[in-house]
Amino acid sequence: MKIREYEDRDEVGWIRCRVLAFLDTAYYDNVLPHKEKYENPSIELVAEMDNKIVGLIDIEYEQQERAVCSRGSGLGGMIWHIAVHPDYRRLNIGKSLLLEAEKKAKALGLNRLEAWTRDDLFVNLWYEKQNFKKVDSYLHVYLEGNEIKDTLSSTSDIYPVQVFAHYVGNEKEEMRRKYKRVHECNCYEKRLD
């Protein structure tokens, strides 16, 4: 396995890897047709095996406190994407990508990494195994059909058919009972100093 900087020619392989990696997770419908570009500087690495992209990590980082991360003091980096192709899991690719990204982050003077992920147990356990600490959470709530009609109203010629919402209140169990698709979105943080 070779870990290297992302290059523009990697975009199709990056997209394929990310889509396949997310298919069996709570982010299964979070499909991107193009690789994101970031407003701030970023660490973008890929893992290559068998002449294809089998893993990736993208970390957008701050040059000014709180420009990217939602919490903490000092300069941090946000892990926007980390993924391993399902045919290449359990080979420590994700861990290797993270370790290389951490070296680069420390060299840039970052003091922490932040990552948000949904409630897939294997993903949350992976972050904990990599010494991240859960520091916050809220709910991602999807509404369809009658769930929308019972929650929102529209008085114009445009009306919602599907809704994705953030719930930050204290009645999380009520939200889980009321709506079919609800995910806890967890914030993990890792100190680098």
What span, in angstroms and rounded, lies between the C-alpha atoms of 112 and 73?
9
Q: Over pLDDT 90: what percentage of the chain?
A: 93
- Region 57-85: mean pLDDT is 96
Judge contact between 98 and 82, C-beta under 8 A.
Answer: yes
This prediction has a pTM of 0.94
What pLDDT is attached to residue 179?
Answer: 97
Q: Using one digit for the tens of pLDDT, what is the confidence trace for 145-175?
A: 999 988 998 888 888 999 999 999 999 999 9
The pairing of beta strand 112-117 with beta strand 76-84: parallel
Going from the N-terminus, what domains does the chain have, and what CATH number goes with each?
A: 2-115 (3.40.630.30)
pLDDT recorded at residue 154: 83
Residue 11: how many other CB atoms lie within 10 Å: 13
The owner of tokens 């290297």 is: 4
